[in-house]
Structures are given as C-alpha cells and as structure tokens.
Amino acid sequence: MSETLTLRQWLLTDEPTSRRHARLASLYKGWLTLRGNTMAMFGLGILVALVLMALFAPFLAPHDPYVQNLGNRLQPLGSPGHPFGTDSLGRDILSRLIYGSRITLYIVTLVALIAPLAGLLVGTVAGYVGGWVDVVLMRITDIFLAFPRLVLALAFVAALGAGIENAVLAISLTAWPPYARMARAETLTIRASDYISAVRLQGASPVRIITRHIWPLCISSLIVRVTLDMAGIILAAAGLGFLGLGAQPPSPEWGAMISEGRRFILDYWWVATMPGLAIFTVSLAFNLLGDGLRDVLDPKEGSQ
Amino acid sequence: MSLLDVENLWVKFPTRQGVVEAVRGISFSLGRERLGIVGESGSGKSMTGRAILRLIRPPGIVEADQIALEGQNLLDLTEKDMRAVRGERISMVMQDPKFSLNPVMRVGDQIMEAYLLHNKVGKVEARKRSLEMLQAVSIRDPERVMRAYPHEMSGGMGQRIMIAMMLIPNPQILIADEPTSALDVSVQRQVLNIMDDLVKQRGMGLIFISHDLNLVSEFCDRVLIMYAGRIVEVCDADKLHQATHPYTRGLLNSLPRLDQPRAKLEVLSRDPTWSEAPSVGGRA
Amino acid sequence: MALSENTRERRVRASLAPWLKGVLVALGSVSITMLGLLLITFIIGRVMPIDPVLAIVGERASQTTYDAVYEQLGLDKPLLVQFLYYLWDVLHGDFGMSLLNARPVSEDIKRVFPATLELATLGTLIGVLLGVPLGVIAAVRRGSWIDQIARVVALVGYSMPIFWLGLMGLLIFYGVLGWVGGPGRLDIFYQDIVPTRTGMILIDSAIAGEWGVFRNAFSHIILPATLLGYYSLAYISRMTRSFMLEQMSAEYITTARVKGMSERQVIWGHAFRNIRVQLITVIALSYANLLEGSVLTEIIFSWPGIGSYITTALLSADMNAVLGGTVVVGLIFICLNLFSDLLYRVFDPRSK
C-alpha cells in the first residue's frame, strides 16, 4: 500500500529528477486526465476488448468461421449454438465476427503506421528544408488532397488488383496528405523557435534536428489525428470490402460480410446487420478515444 | 448622490480545482469624476469593469449587495432592461481595437449600429451623427473611415473609432479597460487626451482601468489600488506618491522616475498578508 | 470632370490589381493540380494488369492485328508522348471508349452524372438546413442537452458505415414500414414519361408538370438523400459549432454586448455574419464529399449515377470508364475547392 502511494507520489512530483522521470510523470498526468473522461475510457475499453478478441479468437469463437453447413443456413438470432445466427452458407456469424476483428486490426494497424510516417517524413522535410523542395512536396500533397479519397482508392485497387494488402496500400496512399500538411505546419513553427537555433549553433545536423527535436514534438498532435482518423480508415476498408475490392471471400471481413448479407436484407436482416454493428462499435470507440486524447494532448483544440 | 455605487462585489469562477475568486468583496463609488483602478494582471480590475456591465458569462458568478446606477440596482434588472443600460448609460472601451472591432463589418456600420440601437431614427440621421462623432475624436477624413474595414486602420485610429462608437449613444459612465496598452507609445497620450476631453465635456464618470500608475495618476482624480481581488489602498491621484500601502509603494518604487533617478530599481516583493487584509472602502 | 473620372478609374484598377493577381495565382495552382491529377490517373492506367490491346482485339487475334492495334493506341511511343496524347484527349472531353458497351465514356458520364448531382444536391440541402442551425445552437448553448445531442449525432455520423446505414434504412423504411420508394430512381410504371431535359428527374418532372412522376421520384430519392444529408449534417454542424465558438469568444462580441445588443442580435448579426465565408467553404467541401460518398450509397439504392458507373466498370475491368469517372469526379473536386477559395478572396475584406 505504502509502496503504491510512493510510486504515485513519485509520478506526480513537481520536480522531476531525470528526463525519464519527467516524461513518465507527464504521461501519468495525461493518463489521469484521460481516466476522468468516461466516454474516452469507454472507447478504450471497447478497443482493448477488440484486441483481446482478436488475440484469443480460436478460444472465443464457438465454431470454425469457414466451415459451411448448408443444412443449417440463415438461422435467426438466438438459435441454439448460433447466438448471432448463420449466414447463407450456414457459417456461424458470431465466429466470423470474432475472426474478422483480426482483419480489421490488421488493416487499421498497417494504415496507421504507413500513412502518418509517410506524412511526417514529407511534411517535416518540406517544412525544414523549405525552398523548392517545399514547393514541390506540398504541390504533390495538394494534388493528392484534391482527389476524392474513396474514388482514388478505388482506382488504385483497380490498378493493383483486389486484396487486403492492396486495400491497405490504397487507403494509405489517400490518407497521408493531411499528416504531411500538419507536420509541415508544426515544423515551420518549431523551426523558427530559439531552441532550434541553439541546437543548430551547437552543430547538430539537419537530420538530427528533424529526428531528435522536431519529430518528438509533432508526435502528440499526430497521435490524436491518427486516432480520430482510425474510424475513417475502418469505414474505408469496410467500404472497399463491401465493394468486393478488399478482403476476398471466404475471408470474414466485416464489410464483405455486409455485402454477402445484402442480398437477403429484407428477409434475413441479421446477416448484414451484425457485421455493421461491429464496424459501428469499433469506429465509435476510436472516435471516443480520439476525442479524449485530443483533450489531453492538445488542450488548445480540446474542450471547445 | 453618486452616479455609481458598488457595494461588496464578488466575482467567482468555479473550476475543476475549486472556486477562483477574481474579485473579493470590494466597494467603491463613482461620481462625475475620473476614477482609476490600478493593479497587476490577475488583480481583478478588468473583472470589476465587466461585472458592472453584467458581462461576466456563466459559469462565472457575480455577487454584490448592490451595483447601483443612480440608485437603481443593476443586479435587479432583467436581461432586457440591462440591455438598455449597456451602451446607453454605461459603456466600455476595451484594450485592443484589433480584436474589439468586428473585422468583417465596415467601421461606419458598426458605429451607426451603436447609435441606432438606442435611438429610433433613420439611417441618414445615424450616419450624420456618426460622422460628427468621428470628427469629435479628431478623425480628419470621416467619410473614408466610415467605409473602411477595421484592419485598414492603425491602432490609434482604431481606438478612436472605438471611443466614438462607445460614446455615440451618450452614456453617463465610460469604463476604459486598458484602453492604450495595445497602442504605440507615441499615440497613447493623444488617444487619452481625446477621451479625457470628451469625458469632461459631457460631464461623464470615467473608470480608467490600467496597470500604468503614471498614466492613471495623470488622467484620474482618484485611484483605487487593487491586489488579489481586493482594494488595498484608495488615494487622490495627485497624492499618489504619498501612498502608504507597501504594495503601492512597491509599485511606485519599481518605476523609473526622471525627477529622482537611481542606480537600481526595486523589485516588488509580495507579502501574503496583503491578500488576507480586508478591502479598503473606495467610496468618495 | 474628365480628370476626376480618370482618377476614379485608376483607383478602381489599383484596387482590382492585387485581387486579380490572387485569382490568377489560384487559377495557376489549380491547373497544376489538374495536371497532377491527370498524371496520376495516367500512371494508374499504365500499371493496370489488364492488357488494353487484348481487351479490344480479343484472345484469339493474330499477332499482326495485335500489333496494329498496339500502334493505333500509341503504345509504341515513349511514355511522355503517350501522356501528352492522353492529356490532349482528356482536354477534348475524350476519355476513350468503354470496353464494356463500346460507347464513348464521356457520353456515359454525361448520362449518369445528373443522377448523382440530383442526389448530392438534395443531400447537401438537407445537411445545410439542419446542420447549420444545429451547430449554431450547440455553440451558443454549449454544454446544454442540445449540445450533447448535436455531439452524439455527429459522433454516430462519423462512426457509421454509410452503406450499412443505407441498408438499414431500406430495411426499415421500405421493407418494414413501406414509407418510401425502394431502390432506383422511379418505379417502372413511371419511367420514360417525362422527357429528359436536365437529367434530374425532380426538375424535369416539375417542368413537365407531371406531378405524379415528381411524387414518385421524390419517394425514391428522399431516403438516400436523407442518408447523405445526415453525413453532411454531422460534418457541417461540428464545423459550424467550432467556428461559432471561436467567434463567440472574440472580443468584438463583448463590444456588441456592451453596445446593448440582444443575444440574438449578437449571435446572428455579428458572430454568424463572421463565419459565413468559412461556412460556405465547408459546405462546398461537404458537397464535394457527398459526390464521392454517393459511390457507396448509389450501389445500395441502385441509383444509376457516377458512383455506380465507376464501380460497375471497376468490377468488369473497364479501365477507360473507371479513369474517366475518376477524372470527372476529381475535376469537380478541384473546381469546388477553387470556388470556395475565390469566395474567400471576394467576400472576406481581410484577404484583400
């Protein structure tokens, strides 16, 4: 008991003793603020559950998501052994949803790594180097921004061929420009500040300045933006899946499941409804968490 | 009877960390005089000005035994009646004309709006009065200024426009909240002289809120010194240099003086007991 | 007299020059963006795994026929030359032939576009009429129950897959309740009654005075349009709210209150007045987004618009049609952006 109390006090100190101490303390304070936000914690809870569900899918799923049973097709909600019913090929919808969480997480994680990193790189280089490099890079960014995102993703997938990896690539290609813009704007402000001049006077190379001094400061706004974008990424992936351009059957991707269920929507509504609810829940969770994170990391934007 | 009588005024803001008391039970009165309120930032001086106009928005709380304008307690008025007080009887000039003028409305429209709100006349008449008012604040080319947008005006011009706008409904009291802090030093005096002349001509009461002791002592009759939401000292402006409270003395000593040059200026040291001591009454 | 006129003219020209310069710069940057857009579509067309020659001549054509078509399509030329050809064609409104129905893609697009335009316009209208007041009220009564509702409405809008919501709408309002028309633009009974003028059935039928057709078309369009309108509402109300909050905390609002204005006058006469230009930009953007968002909606509602067109072409590997559709939607996007940019220049006095 006293041990935890001292840890808490150590974390809440006003006078950190080391850099790591200061960083941990500010993380802890951020966490305390976030914990006070019920909706954000609700979102976080859902996401943690989602990750656990994906990890332990084989133990949680009552059935094999791929095994067809035509004699048992289109069973309604709550039928014995199939709480969410079965689809047109007699596969258990609950099990498919559970396994589908793996695909959703896979896509979201990849896009959330590729797009912000690409944007960060382009944006900071453009902002720091300036001159014609800036002009060219930002012009390219503008061109991508000018494209309607889904249509561009469609065209990319059409060119690259359907499939999860290509869907990830297509979504990333349409998602990076806003990050680049943001990183550039931040870089411009940071670059002008006195301590960057001081670092430069000490002889730090541009690469070191960008990676060690500019990137860490861009990260927090980037994280907020990524979290808020996650919902959009999920929806885009589901949209591509729905159009048959993302994950291919028999893969239990949620968007593709809606597409399968669409044909019998009027008679067997649950087949398309359940995966839609799953998508909605997860993107709602990301939105709630993103709102909360924005309040913590970006107080000037938040609480407005 | 004095124009304005404020008794036991409190301004509070509930926050997550508890209630912040910006103004803590101050009392003062204002006649047809120029009253200065001086204090550092956070001393509650601006909040006092805004509380009189009932401009503190929720969740902020204003409490007072009374804020009486010629005997009428403003706290008893409905919001609708209060609107008739604002502008027409009490008006306020704020710090920076860059922010206090609407950036996308022409200057003329903003001044005419102030006049039309309190006078049932046509646009032609309002326009005529606005031009006169702009001339009264020494604007040479009022026709052009009427058509201009605020961002096309310099700071000094903007503040004169602001004064014209606030005085056009002919109020009895003008609250000037740091009216020259955002201006170049070269035009500060000019703007203050214009304001001062108008206030004297019209026999108005002026509450001049500032952090600048010298300016206040020059343009006011009486000075209230605020610290941490309380009035710590009241004195006549011309006797300011005989002030006794250590805070006032500290403020005075931290300013350079031409008549008494010294090698090193004092740094103000604060005594926690100052904020505990009860308010001094500011009634004339 | 002549002199004064002369000076006035000079003054007008002087005040116009920087404005005109801004417009020219904007136009220049837009044309570069358009060039980039065409370059990207061109590249996408080149990396397609589909052989465009095979698609035309078929599997069993002889090598000579194949080579002839290969040359005819200009595929033997360097890539840059090919791009210039492509540019030339697109600038002349030529997107090539649809491989599916052997008709010019441009004609197909002309035929399907009005359907999308009708849907997106009605959707935007719904989004603006509901979203703007909602955003204003939410900002003014910050923290009140109406603000909470606005927040939830927007949050759900941001989190719901549009195609799924469309399906649910069809299920409930068409399947169960029967309040609205089903998929498609018209019931079969009403088709081909009104002559096509604008291609937008609501307008065409109103011109023709065929109110039966109008009513039927309305019953078909109202559900998808409301759906799109909801998404537009979520976005517009959030943006309106944050713009309003920014303005309401500005000092000139205090000035307006000091003048003795009522809260309503302060809100609509000052704060709202100052966000109008920003708001139009947001509306233009959301309109562009709806044109795109209609891709998925159109499929759900079997709406014969450009979204359905692109998707159908995509699934049958009709690359000319896909790229043609992409270019058209991209150009509209750019034009709407340009339009809102110009609005800023014209209506915001600070930008001059």
**What subunits touch chain A, counting only 3 or more CB pairs under 8 A?**
C
Q: Does C349 contact B151 at a Cβ distance shorter than 8 Å?
A: yes
Is A29 among the domain residues? no
Q: Does C177 share its domain with C45?
A: no
CA pair distance A93, A83, nearest whole angstrom: 8
Which residues have a Cβ under 8 Å from the Cβ of B149 and sit 6 or more positions away? B103, B104, B105, B106, B107, C349, C350
Is A286 among the domain residues? yes
Calculate what percentage of chain B has a pLDDT beyond 90.
1
Q: What is the pLDDT of residue A299?
A: 52
CA pair distance A150, A174, nearest whole angstrom: 8
Give the DSSP letter of residue A77. Answer: T
What residue numbers bound the domain in which C281 lies?
Answer: 107-351
Q: Does A154 contact C314 at a Cβ distance shorter than 8 Å?
A: yes
Is C99 among the domain residues? no
**What subunits touch chain B, counting only 3 or more CB pairs under 8 A?**
C
CA distance A156 to chain C (A): 7
Q: What is the pLDDT of residue C52?
A: 67
CA pair distance C300, C227, nearest whole angstrom: 11
Q: Please give the interface size between A and C, counted as residue pairs whose CB atoms are below 8 Å apart.
A: 143
Whether the CA torsion C218, C223, C227, C228 is positive or negative: it is: negative
3-state secondary structure of A23: helix
List the single residue in C with minimal CA-CA distance to B85: C260
Q: Does C36 share its domain with C72?
A: yes
Q: Does C63 share its domain with C136?
A: no
- Is residue A302's pLDDT more than 50? no
CA pair distance C142, B70, nearest whole angstrom: 35
Q: Which amino acid is at C222?
A: I
Question: Token digits for C143?
Answer: 């923290």
Q: What is the pLDDT of residue C121?
A: 92
Q: Does C161 contact A265 at a Cβ distance shorter than 8 Å?
A: no
Across the range B132-139, mean pLDDT stands at: 86
CA distance A31 to chain C (A): 23
Chain C residue numbers with beta carbons less than 8 Å from the beta carbon of A97 are: none
ipTM of the complex, rounded to two decimals: 0.86
Question: Token digits for C176?
Answer: 């169960």
Q: Does C79 share its domain with C200?
A: no
Of A242, A280, A288, the CB nearest to C296: A242
Give the residue from B57, B96, B104 with the most C CB atoms within 10 Å of its CB, the best one to mutate.
B104
CA pair distance A74, C77, nearest whole angstrom: 56
- Range with lowest mean pLDDT among A117-131, B91-105, C316-330: C316-330
Q: How confident is the model at residue C18 (pLDDT cuts 50, 70, 90)?
A: low
Question: Token digits for B221?
Answer: 């009759």
Is A210 among the domain residues? yes
Q: What is the pLDDT of residues C201-231, one digit of tens each?
A: 888 888 888 888 888 889 999 999 999 999 9
Question: Token digits for C60?
Answer: 């069993």
Of C252, C257, C260, the CB nearest to B102: C252
Q: Does C37 share its domain with C79?
A: yes
How many other C-beta atoms lie within 10 A of the C-beta of residue B192? 20
Q: Does C310 contact A154 at a Cβ distance shorter than 8 Å?
A: yes
Provide the number of structural domains found in chain A: 1
Across the range B11-30, mean pLDDT stands at: 85
List the single residue in B with minimal CA-CA distance to C251: B100
Q: How confident is the model at residue B29 (pLDDT cuts 50, 70, 90)?
A: confident
- The residue from C38, C64, C91 where one domain ends is C91
How many other C-beta atoms lie within 10 A of the C-beta of residue B45? 27
Across the range C23-49, mean pLDDT stands at: 80
Q: What is the pLDDT of residues C78-112, one digit of tens each?
A: 888 888 888 888 888 888 888 777 788 888 899 89
Whether the CA torsion A101, A106, A109, A111 is positive or negative: it is: negative
Q: Does C64 share its domain with C123?
A: no
Q: Please tell me if residue C273 touches chain B, with a CB cutoff of 8 Å.
A: yes
**Domain CATH for C216:** 1.10.3720.10
Is A150 among the domain residues? yes
Q: Does C76 share its domain with C206?
A: no
Q: What is the pLDDT of residue A68?
A: 81
Q: What is the pLDDT of residues B209-264, one digit of tens each?
A: 988 888 888 888 888 888 888 888 888 878 777 777 778 877 777 777 767 777 77
Question: Token digits for C310?
Answer: 């692109």
Calculate what percentage of chain B has a pLDDT beyond 70.
96
Q: How confident is the model at residue C233 (pLDDT cuts 50, 70, 90)?
A: very high
Q: Does C260 contact B100 at a Cβ distance shorter than 8 Å?
A: no
Q: Please tell me if residue A146 touches chain C, with a CB cutoff of 8 Å.
A: yes
Prior bond of A250 cis (ω within 30°): yes
What residue numbers bound the domain in which A267 lies?
Answer: 98-298
Chain B residue numbers with beta carbons less than 8 Å from the beta carbon of C255 are: 94, 100-102, 162, 165
Is A236 among the domain residues? yes
Chain A residue numbers with beta carbons less than 8 Å from the beta carbon of C32 are: 139, 143
Chain C residue numbers with beta carbons less than 8 Å from the beta carbon of B117 are: 259-261
Q: What is the pLDDT of residues A211-236, one digit of tens each?
A: 888 888 888 778 888 888 888 899 98
For A2-32, letters b (16+ CB in 10 Å) and e give eeeeeeeeebeeeeeeeeeeeeebeeeeeee
> A14 vs B197, which has greater pLDDT?
B197
Q: In this structure, are residues A179 and A137 in contact, taking their beta carbons and an 8 Å threshold?
A: no
Which residues have a Cβ under 8 Å from the Cβ of C201 and sit 6 or more positions away? C118, C185, C186, C194, C213, C214, C217, C221
What interhelical angle do B123-136 and B107-118 show, nearest 10? Answer: 110
Q: What pTM does this model have?
A: 0.83
Question: Token digits for C220?
Answer: 């078909």
Q: What is the pLDDT of residues B81-100, one digit of tens each?
A: 888 888 888 999 888 888 88
CA distance B133 to chain C (A): 16
Is C98 among the domain residues? no
Across the range B149-156, mean pLDDT stands at: 86
Q: Does C70 share its domain with C144?
A: no
Q: Does C183 share its domain with C309?
A: yes
Query: Which domains does chain B carry?
Result: 1-86+220-284 (3.40.50.300)
Of C44, C159, C242, the CB nearest to A155: C44
Q: Does C72 share its domain with C220?
A: no
Long-range pairs for B52-60: beta carbons < 8 A, 24 or more residues apart: B52/B4, B52/B6, B52/B90, B52/B175, B52/B207, B53/B85, B53/B86, B53/B90, B53/B92, B53/B175, B53/C257, B53/C258, B54/B82, B55/C254, B55/C257, B55/C258, B56/B11, B59/B13, B59/B14, B60/B11, B60/B12, B60/B13
State chain C's mean pLDDT as an integer. Answer: 83
Q: What is the CA radius of gyration of chain B?
A: 19
Q: What is the pLDDT of residue C344?
A: 77
Provide the number of structural domains found in chain C: 2
Chain C residue numbers with beta carbons less than 8 Å from the beta carbon of B113 are: 259, 261, 269
Of A150, A152, A159, the CB nearest to C48: A159
Across the range B5-33, mean pLDDT stands at: 85
Q: Does A150 contact C292 at a Cβ distance shorter than 8 Å?
A: yes
Q: Does C33 contact A235 at a Cβ distance shorter than 8 Å?
A: no
CA pair distance A273, C90, nearest whole angstrom: 42
User: How far out from the chain centre does Cα C143 lie?
Assistant: 33
Give the residue from C41, C159, C223, C240 with the most A CB atoms within 10 Å of its CB, the best one to mutate.
C159
Q: In this structure, are residues A36 and A47 in contact, taking their beta carbons and an 8 Å threshold?
A: no
DSSP string for C214-232: HHHHHHHHHHHHHHHHHHH
- Is residue C310's pLDDT more than 90? no
Q: Does C156 contact A284 at a Cβ distance shorter than 8 Å?
A: yes
Is A5 among the domain residues? no
Q: In this structure, are residues A218 and A120 in contact, taking their beta carbons and an 8 Å threshold?
A: yes
Q: What is the pLDDT of residue C341?
A: 78
User: How far out from the chain centre does Cα C259 lie?
Assistant: 42
Chain A residue numbers with beta carbons less than 8 Å from the beta carbon of C37 are: 143, 146-147
Of B79, B94, B169, the CB nearest to C255: B94
Chain C residue numbers with beta carbons less than 8 Å from the beta carbon of A291 are: 155
List the single residue in C with minimal CA-CA distance to B165: C259
Q: Which of residues 210-249 of A touch C (CB under 8 A)?
A: 231-232, 235, 238-239, 242-245
Is C101 among the domain residues? no
- Is residue A73's pLDDT more than 70? yes
| A265 HSE (CA, 13 A, CB side) | 28
- Is residue A275's pLDDT more than 60? yes
Kindly list the distances between the CA atom of residue C190 and the CA atoms of C186, C194, C216, C298, in Å, as whole numbers in the listed order. Answer: 6, 9, 8, 20
Q: What is the pLDDT of residues C236-282, one digit of tens each?
A: 999 999 999 989 888 899 999 998 888 889 999 889 988 888 898 88
Q: Does A151 contact C330 at a Cβ distance shorter than 8 Å?
A: yes
- The residue from C62, C91, C120 where one domain ends is C91
CA pair distance B39, B176, nearest whole angstrom: 14
- Range with lowest mean pLDDT among B13-22, B41-50, B243-252, C167-176: B243-252
Q: How confident is the model at residue C1 (pLDDT cuts 50, 70, 90)?
A: very low
**Domain CATH for A196:** 1.10.3720.10
Q: Please tell me if residue A258 touches chain C, with a CB cutoff of 8 Å.
A: yes
Q: Does C124 share its domain with C245?
A: yes
Prior bond of C49 cis (ω within 30°): no
